[in-house]
């Protein structure tokens, strides 16, 4: 049974955490990509993806993540992510997703990194 | 005889009417004949009947002669059609002459002045008799003329209004002239005619004119009704729901309009239904053919077929005959349209059945020929070319049955036709066919085509011809992607050679040099796995099959189950997630690229978990691909930065699995993924 992607956003100074839950596939393209660059333009410098609620990712979902990170970079934002399993981390490295999204083990380490920037 | 009787009866009836009228007015119409031994009008009428008989005999003789010559038949029908009109004119003329003679013989002084009344009446009488004759003769001839027109073609005809107008006008003029005569007689000798006699004679003329007008009108109405009734019966046969009127309707014109409208609606409905059926037949025919682009081992195949009508008689096929052999075939049924398409479908099925029974192309061709001759009785010739490729030795065994010689284009650009002449199939059941064997070199392209390609014409009427084809093929040695090259060529052909009138089909087989090299490397790598594969004894593995539709999202469940199988049977390993992701990517590729997400198309998954190795096979119904993965850094970077960064399915499968390969069997194209049982740190 396909689980649709659900996104919850919460702001922090200079950034936004996007909590993703469900399946990350090509079908989630519009959920993630539509309008986020315009929404955060000028206010947000850091985008943090919380992937702990993600149950399944395939190559289509990884392509969506790359487009997300690339669009964010063009808008002057940095993308971070935490909460993926070692298996998906391995897949992210295989396709070079880690060149666009910085992966961290948890939210605390992401925030530490952002503060140092 | 009927014609002559009609003529004689008309003239005699005219004489009778005239005599009665003359008697009513006390013989004042032609006074000079009164009291003579032999009545002058009877003599004249007898002469006229005799003349008519001679004229009729001559005319019928002429018509018979002309009907005997097929080329002149139309002219004969035209003569018959005009005969009543000629009679009308001749009768009028003869009547005038006889009246003139009668007047000239009958008195002194200026005969015209003296007998103006007689002249007027004579013309009226002649006209009345001529019209009577016209109506009678036309009535008798009508059916014959219609039958001859149906038999020998419509040819020239006369407007429907002409006989009606001729009758109405003639009858009206005759009545007017006869009344005029009575008035002239009365004015010359006042009191010579009683009022009763005047009215009686005038009534006879009026009744004659009216009767003729009613007669022709009634006949016309009867013909019109018959036509409407025929049309209605035609519509009712086709369309039983059309209500049948009780009796004949009074307003024939409205009824005709109604029936015609129904007929028109039915014809339109039929045409639309036929169009729909043709479109459906086109879809069925296209589904019978294999995918246009296929990869089998180191071979790339591009096939394109475009029927001239919705359905056509060209066909082709590509069929796997085992792990290392496959067949390609092209055929062209003589004729076009639905009959050719039906034969094409039957032959395609026959070819598939026969080639699987025995892969020798010459024997297959002979068996197909025998069966076609038996089924069609030498009524349909079909040209066919069958090639069987041995992908281990890269040899092509080819047999032709009257088909155009295929071309071999080498990597260096040389173009050579393979000579192989023979009779088409469906002509002689005893025909012997022999195959030739050609060794294919890496980079060679083997091209089959149908005559629609060669005979295509440009706007100036110049044929594409073999020269045009050879010039094009000479450029093919430069390489590049085969399907793109074929599409580019056909696009140029369509733009320039638009005046084709036949189905157009090509099948190109290429032994891709790069694939060939990689395949050699893969074979060497596979040999290393040989020892391990042998360990997967049939008694020591668990197998399971899945079938799923081509809808994205459904792959996850199957992939998870395969992953769980591996985790369950190999609990000490951590391969479950790798298997799941690899299988998931394999299924998605099969759905998206193999089946093109067509609703109803199926992906089959087979998983076998052995003691040392797990093999997962994923089938689709597409043309397949060559097992090549681009995963160098540049290629990966280019993919990541593209507008739609995709194409990582194979990259992931390649990285996650220990080995993978592609192939084709009777279930279709498959991707095979291997996982070795090993504990990972």
Quote the DSSP letter at residue A97: G
Q: Which of B576, B646, B650, B654 to mutate to test the interface with A (most CBs of A within 10 A)?
A: B646
**Structure pTM?**
0.56
Helix, strand, or coil (residue A50): strand
- Residue B356 pLDDT more than 90? no
Whole-angstrom distance, CA of residue B403 vs CA of residue B383: 5
Domains of chain A by start residue, with CATH: 6-116 (3.30.750.24)
Tens digits of per-residue pLDDT, B632-650? 777 777 777 777 777 788 8
Q: Do B649 and A59 touch (CB under 8 A)?
A: yes
Mutation for testing the A interface, residue in B551, B553, B590 having most A CBs under 10 Å: B553
Instruction: Tell me whether residues B648 and A59 touch, CB distance under 8 A.
Output: yes
User: Is A70 within 8 Å of B552 when comparing Cβ atoms?
Assistant: no
Do strands B613-620 and B299-306 pair parallel, antiparallel, or not at all (unpaired)? unpaired
- Work out the minimum CA distance from B591 to partner chain A, whole angstroms: 13
Q: How far is CA B171 from CA B5, B33, B140, B220, in A?
A: 22, 26, 19, 17
DSSP symbol at B193: S
Q: Which long-range contacts (CB under 8 A, 24 or more apart) does B566-571 make?
A: B566/B609, B566/B614, B566/B675, B569/B542, B569/B609, B570/B609, B570/B614, B570/B677
Across the range B5-23, mean pLDDT stands at 78
Q: Is the pLDDT of residue B535 over 60?
A: no
> Touching check for B244 and chain A: CB below 8 Å?
no
Task: Name the residue with higher pLDDT: A15 or B36.
Answer: A15
pLDDT at B539 exceeding the cut of 50: no
Q: What is the dihedral of CA B607, B609, B614, B619, to 10 degrees?
A: -10
Q: Name the DSSP class of A35.
A: T
User: Taking CA A36 as the corner, what is the angle to CA A35 and CA A37, rounded to the nearest 5 degrees?
Assistant: 95
Q: Please answer yes or no on whether B648 and A95 come within 8 Å at the CB atom.
A: yes
**Are residues B317 and B353 in contact, defined by beta-carbon separation less than 8 angstroms?**
no
Q: Do B640 and A95 touch (CB under 8 A)?
A: yes
The ranges of chain A with pLDDT < 70 are 1-2
pLDDT score for B25: 67
Residues of B whose CB is below 8 A from A59: 585, 588, 646, 648-649, 652
Q: Rounded to an integer, what distance in angstroms lies between the CA atom of residue B313 and that of residue B334?
A: 7
Mutate to test the interface with B, among A1, A57, A74, A96 (most CBs of B within 10 A): A96
Contacts of B646 in chain A (CB under 8 A): 59-60, 63
| Lowest pLDDT segment from B171-175, B345-349, B667-671 | B171-175
From chain A, the residues in CB contact with B644 under 8 A are 63, 67
What is the rounded distance in angstroms from the CA atom of residue B242 to the CA atom of residue B563? 66
Q: Which of A27, A56, A59 sits opposite B646 (nearest CB)?
A: A59
- B220: tokens are 């016309």
Cα–Cα dist A50/A8, whole Å: 10
Q: Is B576 an 8 Å CB contact of chain A?
A: no
Sheet-wide strand order for B299-306: B293-296, B299-306, B504-511, B445-449, B407-409, B415-417
End-to-end, the C-alpha distance of chain A in Å comes to 41
Shortest Cα distance, chain A CAs vs residue B584, angstroms: 7
- CA B404/CA B383 separation, integer angstroms: 8
From the CA of A60, how many Å to the nearest CA of chain B? 7
Which of B76-85, B369-378, B640-649, B664-673 has the highest average model confidence (pLDDT)? B664-673
What is the maximum span of chain A, computed from C-alpha positions, in angstroms? 42
Q: Which segment of B188-202, B299-313, B453-467, B587-601 scores lowest on mean pLDDT? A: B188-202
CATH number of this structure's domain B289-515, picked from the four choices 2.70.98.90, 1.10.357.10, 3.60.15.10, 3.60.40.10: 3.60.40.10
Q: From the CB of residue B107, how many other CB atoms can be counted at a distance below 10 Å?
A: 14
Q: DSSP letter at B304?
A: E
Question: Are the C-beta atoms of B662 and B624 separated by less than 8 Å?
Answer: yes
Which residue from B59, B84, B91, B190 is spatially nearest to B141, judged by alpha carbons? B84
In sequence order, the 6+-apart residues with CB closer than 8 A to the CB of B224 are B252, B256
Distance from CA of A87 to the nearest CA of B (A): 7
Convert the pLDDT of each residue in B193-241 to its tens digit: 677 777 887 788 788 778 888 887 888 888 888 888 888 777 776 555 5
Q: Which residues contact B238 (CB under 8 A, 6 or more apart)?
A: B266, B270
Q: Is B38 exposed, middle or buried (0-12, 13-18, 19+ CB in 10 A)?
A: exposed
* Cβ atoms within 10 Å of A86's Cβ, excluding its own: 9
Residue A82: phi and psi, rounded to 5, are -145, 165
pLDDT of residue B522: 67
Identify the closest residue of chain B to A29 by CA–CA distance: B644
Q: Out of B235-244, B412-421, B645-654, B655-664, which region has the weakest mean confidence (pLDDT)?
A: B235-244
Question: Is A67 in Cβ contact with B640 (below 8 Å)?
Answer: no
Q: Do B648 and A63 touch (CB under 8 A)?
A: yes
What does each C-alpha distance from A40 to A18, A49, A78, A107, B171 come to in angstroms?
A: 12, 14, 12, 20, 101
Residues B40-66, mean pLDDT to the nearest whole number: 80
Q: Between B316 and B646, name the one with better pLDDT.
A: B316
Minimal CA separation from A13 to chain B, in Å = 30
Query: What CATH number does the domain located at B541-676 have?
Result: 3.30.565.10
- Count interface pairs A-B at CB distance under 8 A: 57
Across the interface, whether the CB atoms of B552 and A95 are under 8 A apart is answered no
Least confident range from A73-82, B89-98, B497-506, B529-538: namely B529-538
Q: What is the pLDDT of residue B54?
A: 86
Q: What is the arithmetic mean of pLDDT over B259-276?
A: 85
- Report the residue of B581, B585, B632 to disrupt the A interface, i.e. the one with the largest count of A CBs within 10 Å: B581
């Amino acid at each position: 049974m396909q689980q649709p992607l659900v996104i919850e956003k919460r702001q922090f100074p200079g950034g936004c955490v996007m909590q993703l839950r469900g399946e990350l596939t090509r079908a989630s393209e519009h959920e993630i990509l539509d309008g986020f660059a315009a929404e955060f333009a000028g206010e947000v410098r850091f985008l943090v993806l919380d992937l702990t609620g993600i149950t399944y990712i395939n190559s289509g979902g990884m392509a969506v993540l790359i487009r997300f990170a690339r669009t964010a970079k063009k808008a002057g934002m940095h993308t971070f992510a935490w909460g993926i399993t070692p298996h998906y981390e391995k897949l992210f490295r295989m396709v070079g997703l880690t060149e666009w999204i910085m992966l961290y083990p948890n939210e605390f380490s992401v925030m530490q990194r952002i503060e140092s920037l | 005889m009927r014609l002559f009787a009609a003529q004689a009866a008309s003239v005699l009836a005219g004489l009778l009417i005239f005599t009665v009228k003359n008697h009513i007015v006390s013989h004042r119409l032609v006074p000079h004949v009164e009291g003579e031994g032999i009545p002058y009008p009877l003599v004249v009428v007898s002469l006229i009947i005799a003349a008519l008989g001679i004229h009729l005999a001559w005319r019928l003789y002429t018509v018979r002669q002309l009907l005997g010559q097929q080329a002149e038949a139309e002219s004969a029908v035209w003569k018959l059609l005009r005969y009543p009109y000629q009679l009308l004119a001749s009768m009028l003329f003869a009547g005038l002459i006889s009246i003139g003679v009668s007047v000239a013989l009958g008195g002194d002084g200026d005969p015209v002045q003296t007998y103006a009344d007689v002249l007027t009446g004579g013309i009226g009488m002649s006209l009345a008799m001529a019209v009577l004759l016209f109506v009678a003769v036309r009535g008798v001839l009508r059916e014959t003329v219609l039958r001859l027109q149906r038999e020998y073609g419509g040819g020239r005809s006369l407007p429907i209004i002409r006989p009606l107008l001729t009758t109405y006008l003639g009858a009206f003029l005759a009545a007017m002239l006869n009344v005029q005569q009575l008035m002239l007689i009365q004015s010359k000798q006042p009191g010579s005619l009683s009022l009763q006699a005047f009215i009686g004679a005038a009534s006879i003329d009026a009744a004659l004119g009216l009767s003729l007008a009613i007669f022709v009108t009634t006949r016309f109405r009867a013909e019109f009704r018959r036509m409407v009734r025929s049309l209605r019966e035609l519509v009712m046969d086709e369309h039983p729901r059309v209500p049948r009127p009780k009796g004949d309707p009074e307003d024939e014109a409205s009824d005709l309009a109604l029936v015609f409208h129904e007929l028109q609606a039915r014809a339109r409905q039929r045409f639309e239904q036929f169009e729909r059926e043709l479109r459906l037949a086109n879809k069925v025919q296209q589904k019978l053919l294999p995918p246009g682009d296929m990869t089998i081992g180191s071979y790339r195949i591009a096939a394109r077929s475009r029927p001239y009508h919705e359905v056509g008689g060209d066909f082709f096929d590509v069929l796997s005959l085992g792990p290392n052999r496959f067949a390609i075939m092209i055929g062209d049924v003589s004729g076009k349209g639905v009959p050719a398409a039906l034969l094409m479908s039957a032959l395609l099925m026959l070819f598939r059945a026969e080639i699987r029974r025995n892969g020798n192309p010459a024997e297959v061709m002979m068996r197909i020929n025998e069966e076609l001759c038996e089924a069609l009785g030498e009524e349909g010739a079909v040209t066919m070319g069958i090639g069987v490729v041995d992908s281990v030795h890269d040899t092509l065994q080819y047999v032709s049955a009257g088909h155009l010689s295929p071309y071999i284009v080498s990597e260096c650009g040389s173009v050579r036709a393979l000579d192989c002449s023979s009779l088409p199939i469906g002509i002689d059941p005893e025909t012997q066919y022999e195959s030739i064997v050609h060794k294919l070199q890496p980079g060679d392209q083997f091209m089959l085509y149908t005559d629609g390609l060669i005979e295509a014409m440009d706007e100036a009427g110049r044929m594409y011809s073999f020269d045009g084809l050879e010039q094009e093929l000479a450029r093919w040695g430069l390489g590049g992607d085969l399907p793109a090259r074929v599409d580019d060529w056909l696009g140029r052909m369509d733009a320039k050679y638009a005046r084709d009138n036949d189905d157009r089909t090509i099948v190109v087989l290429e032994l891709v040099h790069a694939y060939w090299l990689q395949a050699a490397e893969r074979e060497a790598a596979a040999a290393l796995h040989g020892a391990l594969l042998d360990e997967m004894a049939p008694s020591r593995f668990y197998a399971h099959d899945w079938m799923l539709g081509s809808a994205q999202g459904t792959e996850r469940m199957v992939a998870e189950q395969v992953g769980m199988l591996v985790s369950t049977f190999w609990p000490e390993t951590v391969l479950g997630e790798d298997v799941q992701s690899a299988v998931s990517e394999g299924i998605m590729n099969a759905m998206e690229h193999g089946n093109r997400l067509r609703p109803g198309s199926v992906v089959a998954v087979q998983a076998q978990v052995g003691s040392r190795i797990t093999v997962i096979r994923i089938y689709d119904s597409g043309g397949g691909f060559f097992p090549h993965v681009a995963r160098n850094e540049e290629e990966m970077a280019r993919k990541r930065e593209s507008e739609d960064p995709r194409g990582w399915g194979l990259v992931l499968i390649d990285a996650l699995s220990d080995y993978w390969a592609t192939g084709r069997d009777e279930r279709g194209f498959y991707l095979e993924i291997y996982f070795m049982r090993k504990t990972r740190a």
